Amino acid sequence: MTYDETVNYLFNCAPPFQQVGGAAYKEGLDNSHILDNHLGNPHRKFRTIHIAGTNGKGSCSHTIASILQASGYKVGLYTSPHLIDFRERIRVNGEPASKEFVIDFVKREKAFFEPLQPSFFELTTAMAFSYFAQEQVDVAVVEVGLGGRLDCTNIISPDLCIITNISPDHTQFLGNTLAEIAAEKAGIIKPCTPVIIGETTPETKKVFLEKAKSENSPIIFAEENNLVLDATPQKNGYSYKTEQFGTLHGELGGDYQVKNTNTILNAILMLINSGYNIAEESIHKGFSNICSSTGLMGRWQTLGENPRTVCDAGHNIGGIKYIVGQLKRESHHTLRIVFGMVGDKDIETVLKMMPKEATYYFTQASIKRALPATEMKQKAARHGLQGECYPTVAEALEAAQKESSPEDFIFIGGSCFVVADLLSSIK
């Protein structure tokens, strides 16, 4: 099989959650252990850092990987979903896994895994760990796919666990209260392993404290150990004034990056205290070169000027809250929003939050879970949001551009899959 045929085979034999939603979800770690044992337990051949959370885990994963790369480590990075190419999920020092590896892995292992019928994520995780072992990485930064306790990445024994925050998302699997969701994400906390918690509420903090105590794990709440003294937005990213590391330039834009940065700095201090060799110079370099060193896309990413055009992959209540706040601060003549969501999110709450003064271009991503643009328009109208429908993200953006003046602001978002279609069309 060619690379494209191999990826199509993976999508068809084990459809990913991003395409079909809950039908792709398999609870439990049995398949993960079976696959890992078959492959010779590759996850034991490198150190790991495990990152969970409702929002921010992708930005935190990429930033920590960037800092470790700048420190001279050979770094594996496992994240999801991908935006353009499947291999974005599995990187070593920022470079995606080779097409040849993906082809050879499937060809070599399909006779074993086909009868097992693993989920797409179970199979992809096994592939990633196998690749990291083959490439002899020093450390892998591993992002949780969904939840934590029963996520198939949770077979690792990491040097550090990070949980960024908790907000309602995937409630059909993780629970209907913040405490229930926190309990699932706290499942990545391992015995005697330090854990950094980015943000809490009174009900989630109690959950994390009890879990850390039961595992005899040192716990730090980043919001109680604020290492960011001041944060100033810039045209491209943020300037962070810190006590330990001077003034850092963070390449990533987005108001939510301020809290992410405080979480990351607490994590870096913990890694240093655990014996990682991370110099201040490497922290500066890591923060300022995240996208080029790790391939990160879709985080308040500027796509053009005159009119200023930005996309962001935030797709749930917690992420949209920050995006809406930032849109209010952006100077513009007319705010134009290309918008689509998947049908299993809390769409009504998100629409209630969106700015009413904007002109909307309702669209849908090219996945089965996408809410049809016509339905989105109807739902949006009930919240005072007005606009027209477009069958594809590319056509919606084209319409927004045609109607824009240089002083306008165009935002594309609502779903990481809308952003994925956008970036694919640009490429």
Q: What is the pLDDT of residues 210-265, one digit of tens each?
A: 999 999 999 999 999 999 999 998 878 999 999 899 999 999 988 889 999 999 99
In this predicted structure, what is the pLDDT of residue 15? 56
Q: Is the dihedral of CA 148, 149, 154, 158 positive or negative?
A: positive
Of 114-118, 273-277, 392-396, the poorest mean pLDDT is in 114-118
3-state secondary structure of 423: helix
For residue 55, is pLDDT > 90?
A: no
Cis, bond preceding 81 (omega within 30 deg of 0): yes
Q: What does the DSSP assignment read for 71-94?
A: TT--EEEE-S--SS-GGGGEEETT
Q: pLDDT of 125-164, one tens digit each?
A: 999 999 999 999 999 999 999 888 999 999 999 999 999 9
pTM of this structure? 0.92
For residue 175, is pLDDT > 80?
A: no
In this predicted structure, what is the pLDDT of residue 19? 47
3-state secondary structure of 108: helix
For residue 18, is pLDDT > 50?
A: no
Residues facing 95 on adjacent strands: 92
Of 170-179, 298-307, 326-335, the poorest mean pLDDT is in 170-179
Dist. CA 275–CA 56, nearest whole Å: 25
Determine the distance from the C-alpha atom of residue 20 to the mean position of all C-alpha atoms in its chain, rounded to a whole number: 18
Q: Is the dihedral of CA 273, 276, 281, 282 positive or negative?
A: negative
Radius of gyration over every alpha carbon of the chain, rounded to an integer in angstroms: 21
**Of the candidates 215, 244, 252, 210, which has an alpha carbon nearest to the alpha carbon of residue 227?**
244
CB 140 within 8 A of CB 46: yes
Q: pLDDT of 343-358, one tens digit each?
A: 888 899 999 999 999 9
Q: Tell me the one-letter amino acid at 280.
A: E
Query: Mind listing the domains of the chain with CATH numbers?
Result: 3-294 (3.40.1190.10), 301-426 (3.90.190.20)
CB 24 within 8 A of CB 172: no
Q: pLDDT of 360-401, one tens digit each?
A: 999 999 988 899 999 999 999 999 999 999 999 999 999 999
**Of the candidates 131, 46, 120, 115, which has an alpha carbon nearest to the alpha carbon of residue 82?**
120
Which whole number is the average pLDDT over 68-78?
A: 98
The phi-psi region of residue 247 (left if phi > 0; otherwise alpha if psi is between -120 and 50; otherwise beta) is: beta
